[in-house]
Chain A
Amino acid sequence: MNQNVNESLAQSFGLSAEEYGRVLAIMGRTPSFTELGVFSVMWSEHCSYKSSRVWLKQLSTKAPWVIHGPGENAGVVDIGDGLAAVFKMESHNHPSFIEPYQGAATGVGGILRDVFTMGARPIANLNALRFGRPENPRTKRIVDGVVRGIGGYGNCVGVPTVGGEVNFHPSYDGNPLVNAMTVGIARKDKIFLSAAAGIGNPVVYVGSKTGRDGIHGATMASTEFSADSEDKRPTVQVGDPFTEKLLIEACLELMATDAIVAIQDMGAAGLTSSAVEMAGKGNVGIELDLDHVPARETGMTAYEFMLSESQERMLMVLRPDREQLARDIFAKWDLDFAIVGRITNTGRIVVRHHGIVEADIPLGPLNDQAPLYTRPTVDTRKQEKLNPARIEDRYGLTRALEKLVACPDLCSRAWIWDQYDSTVGGQTIKRPGAADAAVVKLEGLKRALALTTDCTPRYCLADPEAGGAQAVAEAWRNLTAVGARPLAITDNMNFGNPEKPEIMGQFAACIRGMAAACEALDFPVVSGNVSLYNETEGKAILPTPAIGGLGVLDDAARAVGLGLPPWLDIVLIGATTGWLGQSIWLREIAGREDGAPPPVDLAAEKANGDFVRTHILNGTIRACHDVSDGGILVAVAEMAMASGTGARLSAHPRDIPGHAFWFGEDQARYLVAVPDHAGFTRIAEAAGIPVLRLGTSGGQDLTLPDGGSIPIAALRTAHERFFPSWMDEHPGKSRPMEGQTDGNGSQ
């Protein structure tokens, strides 16, 4: 390719005039076409975090149990028994809009590689999905493709998909969010890192062959969308989960030896970023000879080799005396294995192709002089606190509840999780829908991990700081609600165009809120991913800092679910003011999306959560569910639907209007089922924890304090109708009741 390299070509590669000037200064000459490609992807928003880095530094990343925080392929925390959990969440938003199946599938593949590249066997996948309005005809196709893609990849590699969340909102019409999370387990003294070392050591390429797919994907992910974005379909990669499965097994087999010096998956920006990062982190140089790179197509140029985002590939630095051992392992798994270069002491990346030097770049300046922007910010205007007494309730409790449990944001997600293998591996203790967090046991041990993904984007739009704190607090609460000790989070920051001050303001404020919550809850960020430019034709998504939370249970048998057992007292933990601002009730029933979102009292979160966890672990609490979207009444209904056991609820306190009490979304609250409310209440009050008995469980109906009564079976039918009737168009054909079991509490 002999195109003239100049400022206008640089611009078409996504580099600004100022950034191109910096390239010229570093190189001292006009860069080659391939060199310009390397600079443009390494300095893209996606790879360089140039707009977000200054803010991300505010997040708390340390705790005694953190082994590796942000900066490695994934975060690593000590979980006891000499083991570490390795986890991260990553977005694949832009590809999933253009080609939903492959976009979502390769998102799963990419995050799996980030985890097993550190020496961990993946044991669970989760996801956080946001889609546009269901009425938008395009949304249906995207939901179908994304769900099939996540299932198609995860089911085949044999890693259970155990949890996730889904929201709908018009702001995602042209820009769905697909955030995928993987959790793996490694011995804590056998964590593999990417820093290259050992002058002369071989650089080895393993996995799939390189093709022309995904070239400039990282750059695509760093721009807004326009109407012609579908023309970008060739920049979306194609996934091969079978090869990924082989790659996992082959890499783990090799990792059990002492052959690997450093290892890095080829993700965004492919060979370029893996080679640059490995050599850069190790303060060494690297030479690549592209003639040895396994190619799927003929006639590929150096530029194409370096920028391809073909999937299922890894780069490793090996001990030279272990080359044959490694070669044999990859031969056993029928995977390509090629020595494509050497580690040097030059501090440069040198790329040869057909004997010609196609790129020769000093690594120091490529990394250190990457652009870093403190972009201007504007704060979101605070909204007023709504007075619930001034918001009329024209629906009543029964009708509102029936409508809420059926609405797209609160209805059953069974249609989705029924397409994900959640049990492969035989360790899934709490499957999707059974508890507030998924619980996955560690094979052969009593210990288990609790896992969740959370974010409430409408809160983040109304008040990004409160919303950021709420997302972290809700993840912490969901882990607590199964009895787990929350350890750490991964964050996936999805925002609009950072060059707009109001968007950058949302980002900065969300980070402030998250940082405060992480600090107060001792819940550090250990890995993450930033996805900006989530806009189509100038319209930004809701600010969406998706949080993936991880906690640990010393004894898996202690975990509780949310299914309501019969003949227990239902008790509310946490203070209720009747907060209707930004609630689902307000949107779905009153048709309004205004008001300040509920404030997050981090001291109350900590105190209430610690109290709940203690009483789950000592066996007092038999079922637990956090109160979130939809408020108390929706939470009770969810507990009842999960087990098929009804409840009779008592009158609410007189000082709060009924609809505000039952549907308000005050934070830091849990519903718990206990055998003896009097004794439990005494203990809670003595500990200064707000506690209120709401009623008792039993029977097959949900009886409301206003006299209304709904059979649980009817609630379930309403709850389960939306997805099947929308996606499969078999109205009236719901899941058979008989085949269901709750897998928790009530047996």
Chain B
Amino acid sequence: MTPGIVIFPGINRERDMAIALEASFGAKPRMVWHKDTDLSGIDLIVIPGGFSFGDYLRCGAMAAHSPIMRAVKAHADRGGYVLGVCNGFQILTEAGILPGALLRNASLRFLSMECHLRVERGDTAFTRHYHAGQTFRAIMAHGDGNYFADDATLDRLEGENLVALRYAGKSGAITPETNRNGSARSIAGILSPNLRVLGLMPHPEDLVDPLMGGIEGKPLFDALAAA
């Protein structure tokens, strides 16, 4: 599988993502500037975190209308793999590739801290190296990570088992205290119906080396490299 990172102006976690991808895939990923539209040869499209177009208007809204997103959508429609992290997740929802929206954190403050994610399903290309019910540590760093969708959509996501990750305590317990940004049903990451698109707010790419403080994010990239 060949990964490529899409870069919009204002994206700022592309270097972190490239390090994580290289560590698992064994080669530097291709970096694609948003004004390009040629994604041929890329099997896994990654949209990293940051502040695309300054988050002006609404997080991810401007990037979602950038020409390259048509190519990303076509790739997803063909059943290609897409990973959107943080701003990348926001862009995927704004582009309609994933449902729902990311609202301002309930505390109305930027949250930069460690969190624990409970794996809701361990049988996808993204999560196969974890197992369902386990938790892993990740870093969150966002001002708008409060996942929102109407009840029908949330019921459908849960009914079709498309919630990939939830904010939890270390032991897996889900409480209001573990849901720091106020996300609906503690949702941290969701999948497309064909399980080929994952959007999540926290940053697994920032825990792939013991020196960074842990390697709990690495299984996600290892799983993709093996897919």
Q: Which A residues form the contact surface with B (CB < 8 A)?
A: 148, 151-152, 155-158, 240-243, 245-246, 332-334, 417-429, 431, 441, 443, 556-557, 728, 736, 738-741, 743
Contacts and interface: CB of A to CB of B under 8 A. Distances in A.
Given A241-B51, A738-B171, A420 B10 contact: no
Pick from A246, A419, A426, A740 the residue with the most CB of B within 10 Å: A426
Given A242-B56, A425-B15, A740-B114, 5 more contacts: A418-B109, A419-B109, A736-B169, A736-B177, A738-B178
B104 interface: no
A270 to B, nearest CB: 22
B110 A419 contact: yes
B111 to A, nearest CB: 6
B61 to A, nearest CB: 14
Contacts of B15: 425-426, 443
8 contacts: A155-B112, A332-B33, A425-B15, A426-B16, A426-B206, A738-B170, A739-B115, A741-B137
B116 interface: yes
Nearest to B11: A158
Contacts of A443: 15, 19
Contacts of A421: 110, 112, 141
B10 A423 contact: no
Given A736-B177, A739-B116, A424 B211 contact: no
B213 interface: yes
B212 to A, nearest CB: 6
Given A156-B55, A241-B54, A739-B178, A418 B111 contact: yes
Contacts of B199: none
Residue among B19, B35, B208, B211 facing the most chain A CB atoms (10 A cut-off)? B211
A739 B9 contact: no
Nearest to A744: B213
Nearest to A157: B12
B203 A423 contact: yes
Contacts of A441: 211
A746 to B, nearest CB: 12
Given A242-B51, A421-B110, A738-B171, A431 B16 contact: no
A422 B112 contact: yes
Interface string B201-214: 00101101101111
Given A156-B55, A245-B9, A421-B141, A739 B211 contact: no
A245 B54 CA distance: 9
A245 B10 contact: yes
Interface in B61-110: 107, 109-110
A598 B109 CA distance: 39
Interface string B3-38: 000000110110110011000000000000101000
The interface centre, meaning the residue of A155, A156, A421 with most chain B CB atoms within 10 A of its CB, is: A421
Contacts of B227: none
B113 interface: yes
Nearest to B12: A158
A245 B211 contact: no
B110 to A, nearest CB: 5
A443 B18 CA distance: 11
B16 A240 contact: no
A731 to B, nearest CB: 15
B143 interface: yes
A556 B211 CA distance: 8
Contact of A424 (B109, B141, B178): B141
A608 B122 CA distance: 53
A421 B114 CA distance: 11
A389 to B, nearest CB: 45
B51 to A, nearest CB: 4
A424 B112 CA distance: 10
A633 B80 CA distance: 58
A495 to B, nearest CB: 33
A557 B209 CA distance: 11
Contacts of A241: 51, 54
A425 B137 contact: no
Contact of B12 (A245, A332, A557, A741): A245
B139 interface: yes
A156 B49 CA distance: 10
A728 B107 contact: yes
Interface centre among A245, A556, A557 (most CB of B within 10 A): A245
A418 B110 CA distance: 7
B141 A739 contact: no
Nearest to B210: A557
A333 B9 contact: yes
Contacts of A743: 213-214
A422 B114 CA distance: 11
Given A419-B109, A424-B12, A443-B19, A741 B114 contact: yes
A556 B206 CA distance: 17
Contact of A151 (B33, B110, B171): B110
